[in-house]
Each structure stands twice: as structure tokens, then as C-alpha cells.
Chains A and B, each alone.
Chain A
């Protein structure tokens, strides 16, 4: 009966109570949302590359190598010579190897030179392969395959011409050798979406008349001459490697790291990713702490509303006291009320989270390549909700104790 009366009392103050519940709901939704984005971003990063056992590049840092080779963030400090690449490719424990050559750009998008093997071996999101949405994989020297975001942003379709710029933020363009869009890839939610892919030979071809990063003045080799030239690259930026057996991964990694002819670095993508998490972990924790503070703020707001309701409810408490309710019962009722508000708020928060996810999922995917899965609530969400209810009870103790003291002092006589 006390519980029913407490609920009835809450309903009698629908407006203030619903505002309080709304504040709690939004804060809980924010907290769970941040958590969701955090785990979603991790999963999305982890989903960017799968099936690749080792990434090989010039010796630098493992995180740096991972970032520039897979995520196109930052630049390589050095290249891997073609000879070293061939040496590694020839090893018996290497099942497949895909070279990557970076350094040029098209508008804001990076250009990546590679071999057709890239389309066979690059896997994302637990082993999914790349597929063309329109057109075909390049078969000519001056063909290019572009990612979904490149096509969408620049409005390209198959057979459109493309001029590649030298460097990453450069106005010098490889105007002499225009490319043709031969295919557009399906959306992957990975950096591939923002990449212009050409053949390894094409990278060589556009640099024929270039030396030390600048075009040789007055020299312009005709395209048909270039086609006759030997376009074997002198170096590549990095290489993705698959091993014959997972057991050989570490041996191969060590062998590459100890390669005498050239300082090289081989990394396990998963391990490098873990290192990266270690670095961004602080920011992540800060974000989580801020959203937790928002929840605390909402609960303090609830405390304030309970406080301000105490005076108008003095009568109510006096009636309870006159009927034989103990001051502890009054205290219990207020804590119960707060717990009900916190619980309803938290559940609405969960509801808001799912509504938000349903709305934001396609937007986040297209804008940031971040795919947030909509799953059933996990034990983690359950604990968050439980924690909010407990915190609500604890916070409400402050006004409840005041009500306790008031009801002891007032007794059943309220001088209004």
C-alpha cells in the first residue's frame, strides 16, 4: 500500500517528476551511447583489417606503421626496397603478399598503388572481401578503382577521368597521365572507402618524368612510350602478408625484423591495435568520466526537486505521522520514490539509446564509416541501470534525512 501511495504521489506531481525522469533518461542514454560508440569504434577499427597476419614496412614504430598502412593516417618515413620485398615474398612460409605504395593523392583522398592480389586478400569485418558495386577491377595501366566515399563525395561514376596529384596536399598534378575510373567498390566502413586504388605499375608510370619530387622541366614522355617501359617499382611503402600457418607468424616476424640488408619492421595488426588502444585509452576514459558526471548531475537535479518538494509535502508527512507512520517510514518512502524515478529514468534512457541507434546507425556509417551494431542489452547495461538506481537511492538520502528530521520536529502539527 505504501508503494502504491508512493507511486500515486509521484503521479500527482507528473510535471516535475517527468522532467526529472527525462533528465535521468537523457543522461543514461548519453552514458550508454558513449559506451556504445567507444566499443563500436574499437570494433570498427578492429574490423578494418582481418585475415592479414603481418604488416611489413620500413623500420619505424608499430603504431605508426599500422596507421599509415591500414588507416591512411600519417606518412611513411621510408620505403621498402623492391629487392627486400621480393626476398620476403620468396620465403616459403609466406602464403601471399600484397604490396602497398602510398604518397600521391586525388583531391582529399589518398591514392594507393597495389596489385590485383589486394582485392583477393584484403579482408574486413571478420573476413569479408572487397566487391565492386559498379564496373570492374582495373585491367589497364591507367585504370583505377575508387572507394565508395570517393565516388559519393566527388560524384564519380565508371569511365570518368581522374588526375592524380603528387604528394598529399599538393597543387602539382600528374596531368600528363590521366586515369580512368574502371570500378567503384562497395561501401566497407573502412579506409578503403576513402582510397583511390591504382596498380603498382601506374604509380611508377606517373613518376617517369619526375625526379626528387619534382617534374623534370620540359620532359614529358608520351603515354604510349610509357606503356613500353619497364615499370617495375624500385620500392613499396608497405606490404600485407599472409602466412602458410599461424604458427609461423612469429618466426616470420622475427626473420623480417632481423633482415640484414635493410632495416624493416613486421607487426601483428592486432597487437599494434592493442598498443593504439593503450594510447587513446586516456581520452576514452575521460570521455566516459564526463558522461558519468552527466548522470551524476541528473541525479543531483533529482535531489534538488525532492528537496524543493519537501515543504509543500509537509502536510502529507504530518498525516502519515498522525496515522502512526514512523519517521523512518517517511524516509523510506522518499528513498523509494527516488529509486522509482531513477529506475524509470534509466529504462527510458535505454529506450532512448535504441531509438538513437536506429536513427544514427546509417548516418554514422556513411559519415564516419562507423558501424554500431544494434544488439540486445547486455549484462553491462544491466549493471549501469542498477548503478543508477543505487546512486539515486544514495543521493535521495540527503533530502530524505531532512524529511526525517522535519517529521520528527513537526510531528503531526504543521503550522501552515
Chain B
């Protein structure tokens, strides 16, 4: 099956001297003009000519490797056709095979045929011998796509296992696979029992205690949000990364960047995704885009192929298995990632073109412990309807002010769903994403902080599609709130250890931010119902719930806290000059009601289906046309 150009054991030295570009031109695969263009590009980026030719779409990958095989003097092998020796391959670690871009194909006595996408070297032979002992290594040449394919085929179960359970096996306490651990179950049971007994034997004291707890927590939550948002507002005009710093970056200094794009049943937005990714201002030869498509999602795979993406886009089929979540797909992508840095975009995302470069600058400026930088997310369909307006206000408030405030105050930053940029080595060290946590992004940000790493923010925006249907919105929000609860439960499993590792301030900040939101939304319906009943009926039944200090705090929450939260919502429109949205902040109380409904659904699902991923449907907006973002952003 091998395409034997030359005997496998002795490469021809004369051929090796021929340069790749010239060889491609000589064989009619490339025009001299295109070669000159690629060489000019190479002078700028310092990248390898082969990668450049593929990235610029000047040559097909397979053609390139055929010629490389000829130049290196080894046979080319098509791993899609070649029978693979699974028993042999499985003696190796798939992650190492990915990084070394090689795959052991078969054994003939003491000869091992190894496919490689890199020029064969003594190092390759040492690696193979390191695993198999004294063998003769026979190199074969293939594309890195073939290698990835072979690894996915042979190691399907290992890939699935690592993606789904890697974190859990490494440290079960960092995974949400177990919703509650022993002592958490005991505490929860004690609290429930205590409340029941309290209502039976001391109903008044119990009611007052609960009322004080709820109102006191809400009070602290409001104060915390106020401090964080105002800290963000105070530094609104400061730019983490200046345009000058981005311009000063030289292409040859840029590292390889991996972009993960997990998609599921999103055939309708694939074409737009490809277009949006084309806009990224980053040398294509240093860009590795991994489109993560679920195994059972044939429709999206077909659409992706039909979109004829550039050669820099690689399809990674995610093995089917539970849990079927985005973080699991990302973990598969992480296994195959070869970049120094990595980011995630959703299918409908429109990142600002210089975002990757800003992230690179941020990592270079930042301290060694900076493990991730988060870009802002915002919506291009803000003015579509009332819900998208409210959602945009909320997102603007969160990413433009709250995250900036957390960053300035040195508090842990929960990552947003996309546009978080990682150092790949650190991300692997952290164990990747937790597939059992449905807000794996928030969880990862906190886990990074717990490991002593830091997360920063950069002044770049990714434009997304705001949910424009209430049902779809509640599905998405219930998942987020469920994930927040999971995140709190996971990271409070060893509270003393957590305080020792990150400090009390950070722990309190994390609990208030991540735990405070579900708590506030769960409290909202009961508290507002009490207020409404009291107003309508003017009953004194509830008076026992409000002894003086509880009354003062609850009055503060009702009369000042709500006002402050509405007011902070107005902040959202200023940074991006989306002034038309600002008056809509007055509708926030109605929007919070939706949150409250979603929070109850979240709690119910946490009990019944803790790992179920409520899929948000994308591509529903009429603003899907990529020409829209500028107009929408300006409003």
C-alpha cells in the first residue's frame, strides 16, 4: 500500500538538496509567482514553507507531503487506506504521538514502519525505541491529518475516556462528576433536617433565621457587585493592550495558535463561521483551527465540508459518548492541539480580527502565572427585540465592568463561554475542562485561581448572537446557573485548603460572584411574592419574619439594593456607546424574573439531570449576515 518512491532504508542524498519550493514548481504543483509570494511571506513570518503553502491555499496538503516524501527519500503512506496495527499503536501514548506528529503503522519482524509528518530524524527513532526496545525504524511520510485520523481511529476509546474522565481520574474532587461529596451531603441533609425540625419546634426563630440569612446575603451580594462594577467603571478608559503594542508585534515572533470551535447541530452557521475565522489577523501558517464535530452530527460535518474551509481548518470528530458536552469536545480538541496558545470560539462568534495578537501581547506582558486571558463578549443582534437588548446590557455589564473590576481587584475571574485564551501547557497541567460541569468555563477560571494561576482580561471583543427567544434563553440560563452551582460545590469541597491556597478575599469573592447569583435569583420570587402579598393584603402575618435588623436590611435590599442593581445595569451601555440600550436597564426587574425562573429550573435539573447540557440553539437571529456587526455595534 505504501507509495514507494525510493527504498525505505536509504534516502537519496541528491534529492535532499533540492529545495521544496523548487521541487513543487518543477512538478507543476506551484507557479513561480506563488512560490515568490510564499517566500516573501516566509521572510515575514519565519515559518516553514510547507506550512505557508498549505495555509495560503497554494497547494493541497497531500500534494505537499508526496513531494516531501520524495525529497526526504521515504515512501508516502495514506493512513486512510493503510490497515493500522492497533495493538502496536496502543503501546504509545496518543498525546505524545500527536505532539511528535508520528504514528507506528505496522511491524515486520524487528522493523517498525512509522508514519511521520515531520522530517524523519534520530530523535524519532529514539522515541520509538524508547517504547518498543531495539527495533529498526522505517519512516514513512504522511500528512498530519492522516496522523490525527489514525490516532482518533485507533485510540477512539482512550480519547473519549481522557476527554470525559481525565480530570476526574486525576483528581475527583476537582470534577463535578460527583455532585456532592460526603460531607457536603451530610451538611445538606443536616440543613434540611434542621429547617424541618426548626419549623416544627421553633417556627418563629427558624423563620427569622432564614429571613435574616436570605436578606443578609442579598445585602452583601449587592454591596459586592457595586464595588466590583465601580472598580471596573473606574478603569473603563484604560486599555490592557494598546494598538501600538499590537502593531509592534512581528509576525516571525508569533507562536502557533490553536482555535477550537466546538459545534453541534449547527450546520446553518458553519458557512458564517468559516467566513468569520477568515477575518482573524494572524499569519494563517501559524493558525490551527480545529473544528470539533460530534460523531453523530453528520449534518454539520457535511455542511462543514461543503463550506470548503481553508487548509488551516482541521475537522476533529469527537467520539460519541456520555457526557455529550462542549467541554468534552474541547478536551478532545486539546489533545490534538499543537499551538502554544489556544482559544475557543462558538460557531456564531465574530471575534475582532486582532484578538489573538492582543492575547499574545497580554501573555508576554503578564506574569508567568497568567494562565488565561478573557476577551469581552458582546452581541451583534442587540436591537433585535427586548430580550436581546436586556441580554446585551447584561453581557456588557458583565464583561466590560464586572470582569474588569474583578481583574483590577485581583479577584478570581470566571471565564466566559468563549474567547478565553490559554497557554496550552498550563491548560493541560490544569486538566482541561470538566465535561461534567455545564459551565466548564467558569469552573476552569476558578480552578486556575485555586492552583495559584491568574486570569486576566483583554480589551478585545467577540461578537456573538444573543438569544432572541425566551424559551431558548431560559434553557441557556438554566444551564449557566446549574453550572454555577456545580462550580461552587466543586471548589468548596476543601474550604480550608482553598483559603490557604488563594486567600480569604479570593474565596469570598468567588463565593459571592458564582454562588451569589443563583442565590439571589432563587430568593427573588419568594421575596417579591411576600412583598406583593403584603402590599395587596396589608397583612401582618409576615411581621415575624422581620425583626428590626432584618427589616432594615430587607428594606435596604428592596429600596436601595434593587435601585443600585438597576443603576449598575445602566453602566453597561456606556463603554461601547450603545446609548439606546441604557433606558432599557429600567426593565431589569422583569429580566431578573426570567433569571429566577431559570434558576428554579437549574436546581431541578441539578437534582434530576446534573450533567445534562441544555443546548442553546444558534442561528435564530436575522442579523446573521456577517456585514451586520459594525452596524449593530454602533447602534
Indicate, yes or no, whether A interacts with B.
no
